[in-house]
Each structure stands twice: as structure tokens, then as C-alpha cells.
């Protein structure tokens, strides 16, 4: 008999997806990547969609690889993904169309039009999230305004990870971590806010039941495997899944780094100050019933988009190459505000960065190294600015910042954040989202019980690196300039 149990985590990001196998021996968790694939949105008839057939096919292929490698001895499967985006199922439980990307322009001016119906302040107090064009609520309202009949009562909305779970088990539910990121869940009742939905003419009947994280919701379909493999809903929102892989305390903030950089800390109750809404903070329910007070920064989307343009020019850089080129470039030559809407979905990210620098009377970066360094340094200053706001709203005083996700492999980025913030920066694991996913599967299957159990497994399983701050005189001057850039529109 095997001395360990195996679990599969499907980690879907906005650029790539992975199937990760976790092996648990009772004291230690070991992970291995079984399958990785890339995906990108497709533009059709004026709308930006996710290539759902490709994503689903790759996910199932990866799961079958895991089943083959273990002879079907899998104790659980779960998926996590980015939030806000969704698909609609018809009355026959068939997907009506590919899910639309949150970067589509259909919601560009939606927040301004909301004020005619409900104030931003009321939305924040009721749902805990600031009004941004990308939220699920804004996307649904755009469908209502288009006068199409895509929101019929018999339809069912499922978020991206929930669509995967439905394809694996035919179960149509969501969990509270994903629901809280949609701007449709009431932070007091922890249920869908039907009053807001009614005001915006969004039918609440289309929304799925909300279940607790770490719940077994079904069995894998027989056409995928004849073994009785549980399908588990963990923390479907990838940010909250990553946070589950962090041993948190009152002195430590966290940064989940990927396409978006999600900066925040754990709090007992949602922060309801309206000034926080103006700065686009959100309260996201965590798997352990606490809340994450979090602000999203544009993140490595900036690098991803530049890399695609370099590839078109025949410059094939991997991410290690990009970091090396940035290290060799002149420090603090130019800065951008990553949160400026101009960087959300430009046709050419490099030109958008260069134009921003020209218009703010800076030297324009030209080489891949200069452009990458500009991005990394700007993100570090944005993290500092966000942490200062978090300390103000929560009355906390951080000594450490824990970075997880792909960004913790970037030594330049991590050292920059330590230097800019003055905090001790702890990094690891890079695969925090998948590890958090598997840890919560262990809770669902009764292998783990308490937060102390999870902390013990993390200590036994993960190697972490610490970066200490170096005093660089120019940083305060550059930070003052960065704050000025935040007012440039």
C-alpha cells in the first residue's frame, strides 16, 4: 500500500495553466508539475473571448496524465483561477459561448453609469469591493444594457474555475472566496446581494449556490476516469488559494505575484472606510473565514505584453533573460504608474510605456532591459504605496512582506521591493496557488484539521529565502516622483 496520498491541482492563470500533483505523506507535501500549457484570448466579432475549448481540452489532458501516472490513485482534484470572469450555461447545462475576458472593452465606462443607479459608497459598504470596470457585476450590467437575451432566468452563471468543476463533475456551485470577488456578495449576510442585483436589473436566479471552501462537491466523470475520484472546491479564487499557503501574522503583509500583483493583509472583519474604495481596495473572503484586505496592481501583465511584442520582432526572451537584461540597465532611469488605465489593455504595451514617460517629461526607455527595469522598479514603488495605504486603513505596522507566486523567482524584483519598502522580504513558494489548493483538499478529505496543521506542513515542505533592505539614497526622491505620477491621467 502506498505511504502517501496524491492530489491534483489545476491552476489556471490568465496566460497559462498547469496541472500540479501533490504527494502527502502525513508530514510533508511534495509537488510536481505534470502538464503546462499556454492560452490567450481570441478576438471575434468585436469581443475578446477566452479560448475555452482549448483551455478545457488542456485541463482534461493534464488530469489524464495525472491519473495515468498514479494508476488512478488520486484522492482529490480541484481547480482555481482568476476571478470576475464567467460563462453562462443554458437550460441544458451547455455553455452558451466562450467566456468574455475582463480586458474586453464592453465595460470601459460602466462605473460612471453605475452612479445613476447606486453610489460607489453603497456598493463598497454592501459588497466590500470597489467599483471597477472589470468586476462581474459591471460585466453583467453591460449585458443588461446591451438588450440581448443572454440573461434568461433558466441560465446559470459559473465562474472560470467553477466551469472546470462543472465539466469534471456536472456540479454547478461556487465557493465563498470566488463569490466575494464578484461585487455581488453581501459582506454581512455572506449571500448574494439581491437588492443590488434588482436595482441593476441583473437576475439573481442565474447565480449558483455558494458553498464553503474545502468541500467535496462531486465525483469525476466516468468518461475521464472509472475510478471514484472526488472533485473538491477549495479556494477557487487563485489569490485566496495562494494566501492559504502563507503562514500569516499581524506583522506580515503579503504579495501574490503573477499577471496581477495582489497586495494585502489578513483582517478579522471587512474594512468599510469609503476612502479605501476610492483607492480600489477590496475585502475578499479567505478560506479560513477571515478576510483579505487587498489591492490589485497591474503586475507582470506589463512584462507579458512587452514580451509578446519582442517575440514578433524576433527577440525571444525567457523571463530569466529579461531579469538579467534589467539588472544590467541603469537604475531608476524612468518610472510609470502601473495602475494607469492606459496599461490595462493597450494595443502596444511598449509604446504605451514610452509615451507615458515622454508625456511625464522623463527619459523614454528603449531597450528590453531598460523597459523591463522601468516595469520592475515601478511595481516596487506601487507595492510601497499600497502597503502604506494598508497600514493607514488597518492600523497595522508591518515588519515583513511575504511574496509568493512567480514573482518570487525574480531576485531583482524581490530585492527592489525590500530596498524600496524597507521591509524584510520573505519569498516562497512560487507555486503557492497550487500548494494552497492542495492543502485545502487535505482539509476537505480530513487529512488536516486546523490552521496549526497547515502551518506545520508548510514549515516541513517549503524552503523560503529572505531579502533584507539596502539603504539607497535616491529611493525617497524617486518615490516622491512616483507619487506625483499617480495623478497623471
* pLDDT tens sequence for the chain (489 residues): 458 999 999 999 988 999 999 999 999 999 999 999 999 999 999 999 999 999 999 999 999 999 999 999 999 999 999 999 999 999 999 999 999 999 999 998 888 888 889 999 999 999 999 999 999 999 999 999 987 767 887 789 999 999 999 999 999 999 999 999 999 999 999 999 999 999 999 999 999 999 999 999 999 999 999 999 999 999 999 999 999 999 778 899 999 999 999 999 999 999 999 999 999 999 999 998 899 999 999 999 999 999 999 999 999 999 999 999 999 999 999 999 999 999 998 999 999 999 999 999 999 999 999 999 999 999 999 999 999 999 999 999 999 999 999 999 999 999 999 999 999 999 999 999 999 999 999 999 999 987 788 889 998 999 899 999 998 889 999 999 999 999 887
Cell of 440: 485545502
pLDDT score at 1: 40
The DSSP-derived string for 223-263 is: TT-SS-PEEEE---BHHHHHHTTS---TTEEEEEESSSEEE
ω into 22 cis (within 30 of 0): no
How many CB atoms within 10 Å of residue 348? 13
pLDDT score at 451: 78
Provide the pairing of β-strand 47-49 with 74-80. unpaired
The DSSP-derived string for 289-340 is: S-EEEEEEE-TTHHHHHHHHHHHHTT----HHHHHHHHHTSPTTS----TTS
How many CB atoms within 10 Å of residue 170? 12
Cell of 112: 460612471
Cell of 454: 497547515
Triad 45, 51, 56: Cα angle to 5°: 150
pLDDT score at 2: 58
| Cα separation, 66 vs 482, whole angstroms | 47
The burial class, CB within 10 Å (0-12 / 13-18 / 19+), for 279 is: middle
| Cα separation, 390 vs 397, whole angstroms | 9
Which residue matches cell numbers 468518461?
Answer: 223
Distance, C-alpha 139 to centroid of its chain: 18
| Cα separation, 158 vs 180, whole angstroms | 14
Backbone conformation region of residue 326, classed left if phi is above 0, alpha if psi is from -120 to 50, else beta: alpha
For 47, phi and psi rounded to 5 degrees?
-125, 145
| Cα separation, 289 vs 177, whole angstroms | 9
Rg (CA), the chain: 22
Question: Helix 411-421 to helix 474-485 angle, to the nearest 10 degrees?
Answer: 90
Coil, helix or strand for 140? helix
Triad 261, 262, 266: Cα angle to 5°: 155
How many CB atoms within 10 Å of residue 221? 15
Cell of 353: 510605456
pLDDT score at 101: 97
Report whether 58 contacts 39 (CB < 8 A): yes
Sign, CA dihedral 29-423-323-488, equals: positive
Provide the pairing of β-strand 230-233 with 261-267. unpaired
How many CB atoms within 10 Å of residue 449? 10
Spell out the residues 6+ positions from residue 429 whose beta carbon is closer than 8 angstroms to its own: 245, 404, 408, 435, 462, 464
| Cα separation, 447 vs 229, whole angstroms | 16
| Cα separation, 263 vs 25, whole angstroms | 32
Q: Per DSSP, what are the bridge partners of residue 264?
A: 254, 294
Triad 122, 124, 129: Cα angle to 5°: 155
DSSP single-letter state for residue 392: H
Q: Does the annotation count 238 as an active-site position? A: yes
| Cα separation, 393 vs 272, whole angstroms | 9
The DSSP-derived string for 345-369 is: S-S-HHHHHHHHHHHTT-PPP-SHH
pLDDT digits (tens, 9 = 90+) for 252-306: 999 999 999 999 999 999 999 999 999 999 999 999 889 999 999 999 999 999 9
Point out the catalytic residue in the list 11, 162, 193, 238. Answer: 238
| Cα separation, 202 vs 152, whole angstroms | 10
- Our CA dihedral for 442, 446, 450, 452, rounded to 10 degrees, sits at -50
Provide the pairing of β-strand 230-233 with 215-219. antiparallel
pLDDT score at 249: 81
What b-and-e string marks burial along 380-396, b requiring 16 or more CB atoms within 10 Å of the CB? Answer: bbbbbbbbebbeebbeb
Cell of 58: 488542456
Amino acid at each position: 500500500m502506498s505511504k502517501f496520498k496524491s492530489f491534483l491541482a489545476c491552476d489556471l492563470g490568465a496566460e497559462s495553466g498547469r496541472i500540479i500533483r501533490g504527494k502527502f505523506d502525513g508530514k510533508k507535501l511534495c509537488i510536481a508539475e505534470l502538464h503546462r500549457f499556454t492560452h490567450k484570448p481570441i478576438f471575434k466579432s468585436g469581443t475578446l473571448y477566452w479560448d475555452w475549448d482549448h483551455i478545457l481540452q488542456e485541463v482534461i489532458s493534464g488530469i489524464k496524465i495525472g491519473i495515468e501516472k498514479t494508476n488512478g490513485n488520486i484522492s482529490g482534484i480541484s481547480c482555481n483561477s482568476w476571478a470576475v470572469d464567467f460563462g453562462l450555461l443554458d437550460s441544458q447545462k451547455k455553455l452558451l459561448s466562450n467566456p468574455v475576458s475582463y480586458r474586453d472593452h464592453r465595460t470601459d465606462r460602466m462605473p460612471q453609469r453605475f452612479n445613476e443607479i447606486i453610489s460607489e459608497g453603497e456598493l463598497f459598504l454592501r459588497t466590500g469591493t470597489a467599483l471597477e470596470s472589470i468586476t462581474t457585476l459591471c460585466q453583467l450590467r453591460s449585458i443588461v444594457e446591451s438588450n440581448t437575451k443572454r440573461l434568461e432566468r433558466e441560465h446559470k452563471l459559473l465562474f472560470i474555475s467553477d466551469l472546470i468543476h462543472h465539466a469534471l463533475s456536472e456540479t454547478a456551485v461556487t465557493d465563498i472566496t470566488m463569490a466575494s470577488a464578484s461585487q455581488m456578495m453581501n459582506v454581512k449576510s455572506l449571500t448574494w446581494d439581491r437588492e443590488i442585483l434588482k436595482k441593476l436589473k441583473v437576475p439573481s436566479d442565474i447565480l449558483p449556490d455558494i458553498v464553503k471552501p474545502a468541500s467535496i462537491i462531486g465525483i469525476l466523470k466516468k468518461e475521464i476516469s472509472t475510478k471514484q475520484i472526488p472533485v473538491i472546491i477549495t479556494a477557487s479564487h487563485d489569490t485566496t488559494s495562494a494566501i492559504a499557503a502563507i503562514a500569516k501574522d499581524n506583522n506580515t503583509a503579503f504579495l501574490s505575484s503573477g499577471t496581477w500583483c495582489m497586495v494585502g493583509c489578513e483582517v478579522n472583519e471587512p474594512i468599510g472606510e469609503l476612502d479605501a474604495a476610492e483607492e480600489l481596495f477590496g475585502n475578499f473572503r479567505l478560506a479560513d473565514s477571515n478576510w483579505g484586505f487587498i489591492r490589485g496592481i497591474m503586475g507582470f501583465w506589463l512584462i507579458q505584453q512587452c514580451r509578446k511584442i519582442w517575440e514578433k520582432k524576433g527577440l525571444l526572451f525567457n523571463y530569466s533573460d529579461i531579469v538579467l537584461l534589467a539588472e544590467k540597465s541603469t537604475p531608476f532611469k524612468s518610472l510609470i504608474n502601473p495602475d494607469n488605465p492606459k496599461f490595462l489593455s493597450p494595443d502596444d504595451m511598449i509604446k504605451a510605456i514610452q509615451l507615458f514617460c515622454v508625456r511625464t517629461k522623463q527619459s523614454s526607455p528603449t531597450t528590453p532591459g531598460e523597459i523591463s527595469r522601468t516595469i520592475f522598479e515601478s511595481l516596487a514603488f506601487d507595492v510601497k504605496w499600497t502597503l502604506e495605504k494598508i497600514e493607514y486603513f488597518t492600523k497595522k505596522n508591518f515588519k515583513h512582506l511575504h511574496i509568493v507566486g512567480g514573482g518570487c523567482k525574480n531576485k531583482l524584483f524581490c530585492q527592489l521591493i525590500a530596498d524600496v519598502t524597507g521591509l524584510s522580504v520573505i519569498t516562497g513558494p512560487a507555486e503557492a496557488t497550487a500548494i494552497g489548493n492542495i492543502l485545502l483538499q487535505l482539509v476537505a478529505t480530513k487529512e488536516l484539521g486546523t490552521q496549526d496543521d497547515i502551518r506545520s506542513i508548510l514549515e516541513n515542505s517549503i524552503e523560503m529565502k529572505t531579502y533584507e533592505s539596502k539603504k539607497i539614497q535616491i529611493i525617497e526622491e524617486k518615490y516622491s516622483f512616483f507619487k506625483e505620477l499617480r495623478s497623471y491621467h
